[in-house]
């Protein structure tokens, strides 16, 4: 009995300490301590309290503390066997800015950055970017108004790439010269997920061939990583002749479209009903649209990259459980993952 009391007091002490430290962000000791008596036990409460302490940084925002805490508890209880990760790539797994402050391009943006490609092709790609990007980011335009514009943009740039006669041999060079950099500790996250056999679905509206090239340059393309993105199709002479269908753009990234690329993926992982979803746009939360019923617990982490986004922090907090502002690392997702996977 004495040891039990001692342990409970220890948990209370930690919870209260966290509560005091987090007062500035509205995280109360009562809320943290309330997890001690959940069915997951004291160890879970300690892990949640530790994580909340790390989330108290000024650039990390928790929209609903109680809900997020409950989600984290359930993810910890499920462990590795019930977990899967679904993540966007451009400016989610990759950085949004370089260490020198220069912007990091998207996979399609890599086309105009590649010095071995025809200059006219690169100029035309740049023109499309300059025309369509402001419209994609315009808060005055509705999703319905943006949708046909996004279709036009992706169809146009894909046709430019086809007309440019890009050969398969050039793809590695395009990835190397893209200027795309993975977030700090992204490689560590890949290694952890592979080691614990947790599947990672990378769902991107970018170019799969370049995305894969970037990962191979900086990390390892492990067998647990599955990629759904626009893939180049090469003809018998090794030149791009088409792209995979349906075309994936900003507003068509959802599970219904995903099934056209990888039939049975969600069925294969149906026992993995706990999901950590990561994205950098408000539209990325729709990546699981169509299969929501497969999942019991979905924790959404949003990267708010102010250089590219006109949406406010409040808009992100309405759709993401945790919002990470102007951070080029995977520190927060890794802190969460280490605590979920600790019991395994």
Of the candidates 68, 133, 54, the one whose C-alpha atom is nearest the C-alpha of residue 310 is 133
88 to 85, 92, 106, 174: CA distances (angstroms): 10, 6, 11, 20
Which of 42, 64, 70, 88 does the annotation list as catalytic? 88
Which of 42, 90, 280, 284 does the annotation list as catalytic? 90
Please confirm, yes or no, whether 88 is among the known catalytic residues: yes
Report residue 289 as tokens.
Answer: 């649209």
CB-based contact 73:40 (threshold 8 Å): yes
85 to 12, 206, 242: CA distances (angstroms): 32, 18, 29
Using a 10 angstrom Cβ sphere, with 0-12 exposed, 13-18 middle and 19 or more buried, the burial of residue 92 is buried
d(CA 46, CA 153): 49
DSSP 172-240: HHHHHTS---BPBTHHHHHHHHHHTT--EEEEEEEEHHHHHHHHHHHS---TTEEEEEE-EEE-TTSBE
Residues known to be catalytic: 88, 90
């Amino acid at each position: 009995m004495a040891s039990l009391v001692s342990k409970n007091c220890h948990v209370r002490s930690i919870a209260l300490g966290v509560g005091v430290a987090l007062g500035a962000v509205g995280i109360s000791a009562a809320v943290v301590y309330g997890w001690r008596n959940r069915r997951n036990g004291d160890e879970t409460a300690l892990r949640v309290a530790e994580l909340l302490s790390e989330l108290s940084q000024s650039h990390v925002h928790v929209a609903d503390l109680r809900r997020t805490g409950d989600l984290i508890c359930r993810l910890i209880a499920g462990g590795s066997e019930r977990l899967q990760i679904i993540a966007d790539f451009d400016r989610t797994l990759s950085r949004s800015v370089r260490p020198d402050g220069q912007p990091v391009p998207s996979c399609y943006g890599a086309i105009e950055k590649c010095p071995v490609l025809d200059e006219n092709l690169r100029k035309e790609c740049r023109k499309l970017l300059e025309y369509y990007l402001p419209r994609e980011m315009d808060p005055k335009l509705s999703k319905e108004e943006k949708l046909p514009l996004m279709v036009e943009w992706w169809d146009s740039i894909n046709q430019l790439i086809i007309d440019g006669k890009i050969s398969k041999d050039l793809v590695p060079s395009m990835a190397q010269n893209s200027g795309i950099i993975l977030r700090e500790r992204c490689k560590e996250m890949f290694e952890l997920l592979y080691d614990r056999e947790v599947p990672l679905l990378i769902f991107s509206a970018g170019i799969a061939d370049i995305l894969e090239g970037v990962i191979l340059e900086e990390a390892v393309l492990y067998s647990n990583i599955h990629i759904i993105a626009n893939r180049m199709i090469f003809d018998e002479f090794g030149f791009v002749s088409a792209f995979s269908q349906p075309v994936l753009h900003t507003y068509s990234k959802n599970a219904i479209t995903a099934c056209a690329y990888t039939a049975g993926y969600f069925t294969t992982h149906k026992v993995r009903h706990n999901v950590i979803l990561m994205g950098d746009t408000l539209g990325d939360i729709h990546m699981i649209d169509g299969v929501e019923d497969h999942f019991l617990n979905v924790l959404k982490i949003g990267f708010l990259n102010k250089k590219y986004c006109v949406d406010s922090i409040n808009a992100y907090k309405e759709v993401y459980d945790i919002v990470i502002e102007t951070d080029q690392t995977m520190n927060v997702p890794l802190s969460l993952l280490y605590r979920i996977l600790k019991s395994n």
